[in-house]
Amino acid sequence: MVYINIANFRLPGENSEQNDWFDHIEFLCCISQDGSITESAVVDRFFDENINCLQTAALALGNEFDFPELSENYFDSSDLIEDEIIDPGMYDSPLRDRVTDKIRNLFTSLACRTRVYGDDYPFITTNCSIKIRDNLTPVQRLYIALLFSSLLRLATRTGINCLGHLFEELCEPAFRRLTPAGASNFFFGSGSHRNFSDTITGSFFDKVTKLCSLLHLRPHPNFTRENAGRHNNGDGGLDWVGFFEFGDNQFSQPVFFGQCACGQDWVDKQFDAHQSKWKNYIHLCNAYLTYHFIPRNFRKDSLEWYNPLEIIDVVLIDRFRLLQLLNQEADLNNKIENLYRPLFDEIEQNRGNSEQFA
């Protein structure tokens, strides 16, 4: 199994949020030969990725409003006198300085993660460098596992699938902590369930039918095997389900749905387990609470949500909240070891062969 393909690595481009830059810098740090990366190395790589063209690099980092040094902002061709020639490179020096300053400021801002995560943060930061710590704790190793799980565009095709399934399994104890004591919790997803004792299996139609039975509800009249898809073995976007059973075999119970999303499309995937969709499958009698698990850090420097408007009718559990939930697990080290040992071995192997990231 190969999880990541470092040949796919490129720094974030236009319209990328600050957290994407932070994650890519941390990724570079993890796979660099000496476990560290400097601001100057990132600047050099950024220019290399943009064919050493200052204008291309600037536009990959922002727009003409971010970089007034772009030469086209300085003159209008209609203002030129006859035979007048403008040297297109006359603003190269200030433009290079502005691009360099933008990346330098990212390193300065990256230090906020040290303040936010405290001892759980696996890196040591300065205003111009980042270095991975020695002898990582289980929670620090968990951070790195979540970091790599949030960068699926750098993963191989099989790595994308595997990291997604591992993340579902990782979220099990977090989901259990978010349901009441004595609640019944089942894995509903279509991923690997070898380590789950309580799993709802079968085709999608069979799984929904079993879930209805557990919740003492009826399937929606339109939810037939034909409509669900006779060969549909998926999960409909639901990974975990929990409910509190009162022992009276009656509906109207507290119900909890859990959904895991590693990809960049996590905002849209909030609707996969939403009641507006699942009411077409199950004849619901009361609303349920949805937990949406993502491995990415969705925070500003202040720890506030990066953009509250993107959280849509779910309880969002991002990287920060996952660490808060899972660092209470007594066997966290064993769980990280069992799930992610091959990934950490691969990181070490790539570090030893990563001259281009030195």
Q: Is the pLDDT of residue 251 over 70?
A: yes
- pLDDT band per the 50, 70, 90 thresholds, residue 194: low
Return the pLDDT at 55: 83
Annotated domain spans of the chain:
6-150+347-357, 161-327
Return the pLDDT at 87: 46
- CB–CB of 37/43 below 8 Å? no
- pLDDT band per the 50, 70, 90 thresholds, residue 98: confident
- The count of C-alpha atoms lying within 13 angstroms of the C-alpha of 11, restricted to the half-sphere facing its C-beta, is 25
More confident residue, 340 or 82: 340
Mean pLDDT of the region 312-335: 95
Mean pLDDT of the region 12-26: 90
Return the pLDDT at 86: 47
Return the pLDDT at 13: 80
Return the pLDDT at 193: 57
Q: Which of 102, 72, 107 is nearest to 88 (CA)?
A: 72
Q: Is the pLDDT of residue 72 over 60?
A: no
Mean pLDDT of the region 188-210: 85
Q: Is the pLDDT of residue 63 over 60?
A: yes
More confident residue, 6 or 210: 210
Q: Is the pLDDT of residue 258 over 80?
A: yes
Q: Determine what percent of the chain is predicted with pLDDT higher than 90.
A: 76
Return the pLDDT at 81: 53
* CA-to-CA dists, residue 280 to 216, 220, 276, angstroms: 17, 6, 8
Specify the pTM.
0.91
Please list the alpha-helical segments (H only) found in 307-331. Answer: 319-326
pLDDT in tens, 103-159: 999 999 999 999 999 999 999 999 899 999 999 999 999 999 999 999 999 999 999
B/e letters for 255-275, b = 16+ CB within 10 Å, e = fewer, are bbbbbbbbbeebbebbbbbbb
Return the pLDDT at 84: 46
Return the pLDDT at 357: 53
Between strands 255-260 and 289-293, the pairing is parallel
Among 85-89, 180-184, 291-295, which is the least confidently predicted range? Answer: 85-89
Mean pLDDT, the chain, integer: 90
Three-class secondary structure of residue 236 per DSSP:
coil
Return the pLDDT at 53: 86
Q: Is the pLDDT of residue 203 over 50?
A: yes
Query: What sign results for the dihedral spanned by CA atoms 97, 102, 107, 109?
Result: positive
Among 57-71, 306-320, 326-340, which is the least confidently predicted range? Answer: 57-71
Q: Is the pLDDT of residue 85 over 80?
A: no
